[in-house]
Amino acid sequence: MELPAEAVDVAARELLGWRLAANGVTVRLTEVEAYSGLGADPASHAHRGLTNRNAVMFGPAGHLYVYQIYGMHFCANIVCGEEGRAAAVLLRAGEVVDGLEVARSRRPAARRDSDLAAGPGKLMQVLDLNRAANDTSVVDGTGPATLAPPDTEVGEIEAGPRVGVTSAHDVPWRFWLSGDPTVSAYRRHTPKIRPPRVR
């Protein structure tokens, strides 16, 4: 499946290397995933239009869209579209660059420092962010998290299929810093095969 390149595709690439700081920890973003609000992207939470849940995705840009998965993990997206046109970038992984001891205390099961924020739920854990951060700004200093541009060269960026979605999973809108050890493990989508009903 192919989706048209648009602002969300560009924004996702440009977010790599940026620093997200919250609650005593700073993470350098190493992996992200783009989601359009267009009807052509069935993997997007905004695919079917505006709802109470996804309203944040419709703007303004620079706000966090936070949701819960599996009833326990939180994921965060940065809204990046024009107001009224949903688009957001999922923050998939990062490198802890400040507040390492605090991050370790929040993720004691991590075997290596490179695993601390190697996944969207883990990233939220080390930053100690949850649903309360939904619809807060990362650019004007009013929210619990703040975003700052890279202070070093970003390096080579790779692209590949998205993770954890049942629709449009083959769209290459997941972007990551090449060779970075904090990038989450890729697991190809495998559709569930339901056994036939016995009558």
Domains (ranges, CATH) in the chain?
Answer: 7-177 (3.10.300.10)
- Helices within 16-110 (DSSP H only): 100-106
Amino acid 48: pLDDT: 62
Is residue 172 predicted with pLDDT exceeding 90?
no
Structure tokens at 38: 């267009």
Contact between 145 and 129 (Cβ < 8 Å): yes
For residue 180, the one-letter residue type is D
Is residue 165 predicted with pLDDT exceeding 80?
no
HEC secondary structure over 126-195: HHCCCHHHCCCECCCCCCCEEEECCCCCCCCEEEECCCCCCCCCCCCCEEEECCCCCCCCCCCCCCCCCC
Q: For residues 8 and 41, which has the higher predicted lDDT (pLDDT)? A: 8
109 vs 30: CA distance, rounded Å: 21
Structure tokens at 85: 């046109």
161 vs 175: CA distance, rounded Å: 9
The mean pLDDT of 4-10, rounded to a whole number, is: 67
At 197, is the pLDDT very low, low, confident or very high (cuts 50, 70, 90)? low
Shortest CA distance to 127 belongs to which of 30, 17, 16, 19? Answer: 19
Shortest CA distance to 99 belongs to which of 77, 125, 76, 120? Answer: 125
pLDDT tens for residues 74-118?
Answer: 999 999 878 878 888 999 999 999 999 999 999 999 999 999 999
* Cis amide prior to 144 (ω within 30 degrees): no
Beta-carbon contacts of 162 under 8 Å, excluding residues fewer than 6 positions away, are 33, 43, 168, 169, 171, 173, 174
Is residue 49 predicted with pLDDT exceeding 80?
no
For residue 69, the tally of other CB atoms under 10 A from its CB is 11
For residue 18, the one-letter residue type is W
